[in-house]
Structure 1
Amino acid sequence: MIWSAKLINHRNEDRIGVKFEKDKELIQRIKLISGARWSQQKKLWHIPDTRENRERFQIAPEEDTVLSSEGRKHHDLFIRWLSSKRYSPNTIKTYSDALRSFLLYYKSKDVCELTNADVLDFNNDYILTKKLSASYQSQIISAIKLYFRTIRETKIEADKLDRPKKPKTLPNVLSKEEVKIILEAHANLKHKMMLSLIYSCGLRCSELLQLRPLDIDSKRNIVLIKQAKGKKDRITPLSPKILELLRAYYQLYKPKTFLFEGQEPGSNYSAKSLQSVLKQALRKCDIKKPVTLHWLRHSYATHLLESGTDLRYIQELLGHNSSRTTEIYTHVSTKSIQQIKSPFDDL
């Protein structure tokens, strides 16, 4: 059995990529490793970058992955500062990992000697050379700007650092017919309930998994979403049809701590399992589009807009800070576009 393993960066996370010819035994063995996932884009399996996994796949330790003592001090200081500001664990990890990449690149240089020119060289010689995404580059710049505003004795002028130009992409939207087919694909009430609630309330995956039974207010027909992105509370209307489903679900599963619990009572249902629920639904209804859970949220917003809901209300329901974020749905709404007659029809 021939295989190869190397260190990779997948979705801004350090991983170990493992390649081998298709072999059922090897696939079963790698699936047993905690955190192992298949990347369709890279066409390889990838696992967490840990000392145990490096030894398992005979990857020698690399000095380039270890910060200098000064870099480690600044990295730890940044994590403490982010924690004191009560940033979410995900944001802390994203920002601290981004700063770490920058400090690692200049590990032989004193942090107080780093300049804006070094940031420019890092963008060109590291990010662009490795063909890393614009979003990853933006995360790096955001982390650098945030950190170097908080420390003294630095030559970096954070306010003069520019983020890369963002590509203008449109959100992916499903038709109402496609949404209906996906939501009806599961016979399992719990699976059906989770997907239906995401679409009917325009929830993010994390918001659904943090819901508690008390967050469902059946008297006022609302769902209370607490401490969502940006640490904001918001409410969203509760569909009468969803309320009926919820009552049947509650009678069957009797959740205690979270509305949707994992196998252990009182534990969160995992995001990975929820993604699997959607994938199973797509297979059952033979939809080939690369649908994600966020597509359901996008579809909710677009369908609201097409039904005549004011953009300002949609902004509130989605929890967007800026109306500009919500306005993107006007570009994917087909209600007005479908009324336009093509000049081709008059030929």
Structure 2
Amino acid sequence: MEWSAKVIRHYDESRIGIYFEKSADILLLLKELFPDAKWSQSKKVWHIPDTDNNRRYFGIPTLTDLLPSDEGIKSLENFRRWMRSKRYSESTVTTYFGAAKIFLIYYKHKSIELIDNDDFVYFNNDYILKNQLSASYQNQITNAIKLFFKTVQNRVIDIDIIHRPKRAKVLPNVLSKEEIKLILETPINLKHRAMLSLIYSCGLRCGELLALSLKDIDSKRNIVLIKNAKGKKDRIAPLSPKILELLRTYFKLYKPKTYLFEGRIKGTPYDSRTLQQILKFTIQKAGIDKPVTLHWLRHSYATHLLETGTDLRYIQELLGHNSSKTTEIYTHVSTKSLQQIRSPFDDL
């Protein structure tokens, strides 16, 4: 069988990428062996979940084989307890714990007390750069290791001696109002339409939508209260009369108990991955040939507000951005000013 496999990062998730020459027979076998295999349009590779069984099939060291030393395991648990005591978000705890764990696995045969700046420089070159990990992941793992040594070891690793990669200045992906309308009108399921519509109409992150409870919708003041959002901040967003009418229809039909949008079990929040799959199915059904994600709806909301004349400071508040510089990126994708520019080509 002429194929190979390696562990890859895909949307900040560990996956196993499977590489082979284009062949209908190999693809058929792949789908038979791994029914949950997925195609990555961005990486141009088929990939499967990063599990011990899948690793063993391709001869990749399993996750259970890759453990830190006993000293490392103890230090990691102290690190996790410290972060939770400081009330770091659980997603940050998981991310930083995982990053520090990778570093300590790499140096499992060396006492943590003996690890120094040179070790991190070597790790950066031999693990991060060699495996072509993204700049954002490099910054993430760098921050985690720096915090680990500062809090658990009470000493400073001079990570700043490594030139941090510059973040790529990627413009946000924005859909036209016509495309948004098509996406929101495509779902037959009222619940799915309400979820996608609320994300766009209020500029919500996926996690913010799924964390909404019934009491967060204030129909008298026409607002939605977004609690404990990114950065542990609360904010409010206006509810349009159209979305409020849609939510009332949805509520009468589905009768949620605790969360505004609940999963199959009453009182539990809807699953984020399921919602992502619903959007993927929706854009295919709508005939939109773009790799749309839920965050595109939030980007489109901000851009469309800007194009209709909403002050940038208000958009910053509505999105919950700490810095106006984060919000200013939408000025680079707004077409309102660009459309007023006359091309010199027209004068030829």
TM-score normalized by the length of structure 2: 0.90
CA distance in 2: counterparts of 1:77 and 1:42, whole angstroms? 40
Q: Find the counterpart in structure 2 of residue 44 from structure 1.
A: 46
Asked if residue 27 in structure 1 is aligned to residue 31 in structure 2, the reply is: yes
Kindly report which structure 2 residues correspond to 1:107-126, keeping only aligned pairs within 5 A, or say none: 107-126=108-127
The one-letter code sitting in structure 1 at the alignment partner of 2:347 is D
Counterpart residue identity of residue 149, structure 1 = K
SS at 1:227 equivalent: strand
Worse-superposed segment, 11-20 or 277-286: 11-20
Residues 1:287 and 2:292 aligned together: no
Contact map agreement 1:210 1:258 (CA 8 A) in 2 = yes
Task: Classify 1:42/1:94 alpha carbon distance in 2 versus 1 (closer, same or farther; 3 Å).
Answer: farther
In 1: Cα distance, 2:108 partner to 2:27 partner: 40
Provide structure 1 residue ranges, at least 5 long, that are not aligned to the other structure.
none
Superposed, 1:124-163 pairs within 5 Å as 124-152=125-153, 154=155, 156-157=157-158, 163=164
Residues 53, 130 of structure 1: alpha-carbon distance in 2 compared, 3 angstrom cutoff: closer
Shift in Å, 1:228: 1.0
For the structure 1 residues 60 and 100, does the alpha-carbon distance in structure 2 shift closer, same or farther, using more than 3 Å as the test? Answer: closer
The residue identity in structure 2 corresponding to 1:27 is K
SS class of match (2:236): strand
> Are the aligned partners of 1:112 and 1:153 in contact in 2 as well (CA < 8 Å)?
no
Deviation at 1:72, TM superposition (A): 1.6
Q: How far is the alpha carbon of 1:195 from its aligned partner?
A: 0.6
Amino acid at match of 2:225: L
State the Cα distance separating 1:57 from its structure 2 match: 6.8
Query: How far apart in 2 are the matches of 1:13 and 1:101?
Result: 14
Taking only the aligned residue pairs, the percentage that are identical comes to: 59
Look up the equivalent residue of 2:151 and give its one-letter code: T
Displacement after TM superposition at 1:43 (Å): 2.4
Shift in Å, 1:213: 1.3
2-structure distance, mates of 1:293, 1:61: 32
Structure-2 change in CA distance of 1:214 and 1:100 (3 Å): same
Distance 1:56 1:208 in 2: 38
Q: Does 1:237 align with 2:238?
A: yes
Q: Give the 3 Å change call, closer, same or farther, for CA 261–29 of structure 1 in structure 2.
A: farther
**TM-superposed deviation, 1:82:** 1.2
Aligned position for 1:321: 322
Relative to 1, partners in 2 of residues 1:9 and 1:67: Cα closer, same or farther, differing over 3 Å?
farther
Counterpart in the other structure of 2:310: 309
Q: Displacement of 1:335 after TM fit?
A: 0.5
Alignment CA distance shift 1:227-1:345 (3 Å): same
Equivalenced residue count is 340
Unaligned runs of 5+ in 2: 21-25
Counterpart for residue 23 of structure 2: none
